[in-house]
Chains A and B, each alone.
Chain A
Amino acid sequence: MTSDIDLSCTDLNKNFGSYQAVDNVSFQIPRGSFFSILGPSGCGKTTLLRMIAGFLEPESGGITIKGDSMLGIPPNKRPVNMVFQHLALFPMMSVADNIGYGLRRRKMKASEIKKKVADALERVGLPDVGDRAISQLSGGQKQRIAIARCLVLEPDVLLLDEPLGALDLKLREHMKVELKKLQQAFGTTFIYITHDQSEAMVMSDQVAVMNNGRFEQVGTPQELYYQPDTPFVAGFVGESNHFSGQVVGRNGDVVEVKTASGQVFHSIERIDTNLAAGDEVELFVRPEMIHLSFEPENKPENALEGEVANILFDGGNSRLLIREATTGAELQVVQPQTTQFRDVKAGDRLYLSWAASQSHIFRARGQSQTPALMQTVEE
Chain B
Amino acid sequence: MNAFSSSKASGKKLALFLLLTPFALHLFFLILLPHLEILNISLRERVSYGIYKFSLMNYEAFFTEPLYWRTFLRTAVMSILTTAITLIVAFPVAWYIAKVVRGRTKGLLFLACLIPFWVSELVRTYGWMILLRETGVISNLLQWAGLAVGPVEMLYNDATVMLGLVYTSMLFMVVPLVSTLDGMDDSLVEAAYDLGGNGWNALREVVIPYAMPGIVSGCIVVFMLSLGNYLTPILLGGKDSLWFTDQIFTQFITRFNWEQGAAFGVLLLILSSLIVWLGLKLSRQSFSETMGR
Q: Say whether, besides A86-B185, A91-B210, A76 and B191 are in contact (CB < 8 Å).
A: no
B190 and A55 form a contact (CB under 8 A): yes
- Does any Cβ of B come within 8 Å of A53's Cβ? yes
B210 touches A76 (CB 8 A): no
Q: How many A-B residue pairs have CB under 8 A?
A: 60
Interface residues of A (CB under 8 A from B): 53-55, 74-76, 80-82, 84-86, 88-93, 101-102, 105-106, 149-150, 153
B232-253 near A? 1/0 per residue, CB < 8 Å: 0000000000000000000000
Q: Which of B191, B196, B212 has the most CB of A within 10 A?
A: B191
Task: Considering the complex, give the chain B residue whose CB is closest to the CB of A85.
Answer: B187
Q: Per a CB cutoff under 8 Å, which of B188, B195, B209 touches A81?
A: B195
B196 touches A102 (CB 8 A): yes
A76 contacts B188, C-beta separation under 8 Å: no
User: At the interface, yes or no: B201 with Cβ under 8 Å from chain A?
Assistant: yes
Known: A88-B185, A88-B187. A105 touches B195 (CB 8 A): yes
The answer to whether B194 and A75 touch across the interface, beta carbons within 8 angstroms, is: yes
Cα separation A82 to B195 with both chains bound (whole Å): 8
Name the distance in Å between A188's Cβ and chain B's nearest Cβ.
Answer: 15
**Whole-angstrom CA separation of A54 from B194 in the bound complex:** 8
The answer to whether A84 touches B209 (Cβ under 8 A) is no
B52 at interface by CB-CB < 8 Å:
no
Most chain A CB within a 10 A radius of its CB, from B192, B193, B196, B212: B196
Q: Quick check: is B198 within 8 A (CB to CB) of the other chain?
A: yes
Q: Is B191 in contact with A82, judged by CB distance below 8 angstroms?
A: yes
B187 and A84 contact, CB distance less than 8 A: yes
Chain A hits for B197, CB < 8 A: 76, 101-102, 105
Residues of B within 8 A of A90 (CB): 188, 191-192, 205-206, 209-210
CA–CA, A74 to B209, complex, Å? Answer: 24
List chain B residues, Cβ under 8 A from A75.
190, 193-194
A88's partner among B188, B201, B205 (CB-CB below 8 A) is B188
Contact A74 B195, beta carbon cutoff 8 Å: no
Contacts of A106 in B (CB 8 A): 196
Name the CB-closest residue of B to A97. B205
Q: Is the CB of B212 within 8 A of A92?
A: yes
Select one of A88, A102, A150 contacting B190, CB under 8 A: A88
Whether the pair A82, B194 counts as a contact (CB closer than 8 A) is yes
Contacting pair A101 B195 (CB below 8 A): yes
Residues B165-206 near A (CB distance < 8 A): 185, 187-188, 190-198, 201, 205-206
Tell me the bound Cα distance from A149 to B194 in angstroms: 11
What separation, in Å, do the CA atoms of A89 and B206 have in the docked complex?
Answer: 10
Can you pick out 11 interface pairs between chain A and chain B where the beta carbons lie within 8 Å of each other? A55-B190, A76-B195, A81-B195, A84-B190, A85-B187, A89-B191, A90-B188, A92-B210, A106-B196, A150-B195, A153-B196
Q: Which residues of B contact A153 (CB under 8 A)?
A: 195-196
Residue of B nearest to A91 (CB): B210
Question: Could you say which of A55, A80, A101 has the most chain B C-beta atoms within 10 Å of its C-beta?
Answer: A101
Q: Which residues of A contact B195 (CB under 8 A)?
A: 76, 81, 101-102, 105, 149-150, 153
B194 touches which of A76, A86, A89, A93 (Cβ 8 Å): A76
> Nearest chain A CB to B201's CB is how many angstroms away?
6
A88 adjacent to B191 (CB under 8 Å): yes
Question: Which chain B residues lie closer than 8 Å to A91 at the CB level?
Answer: 210
Contact among B185, B193, B206, B209 for A76, CB-based, below 8 A = B193
In the bound complex, how far is the Cα of B206 from the Cα of A92, in angstroms?
A: 8
**Bound state CA distance, A86 and B188, in angstroms?**
9
Q: Give bound CA distance, A84 to B193, whole Å.
A: 12
Complex alpha-carbon distance, A105 and B206, angstroms: 13
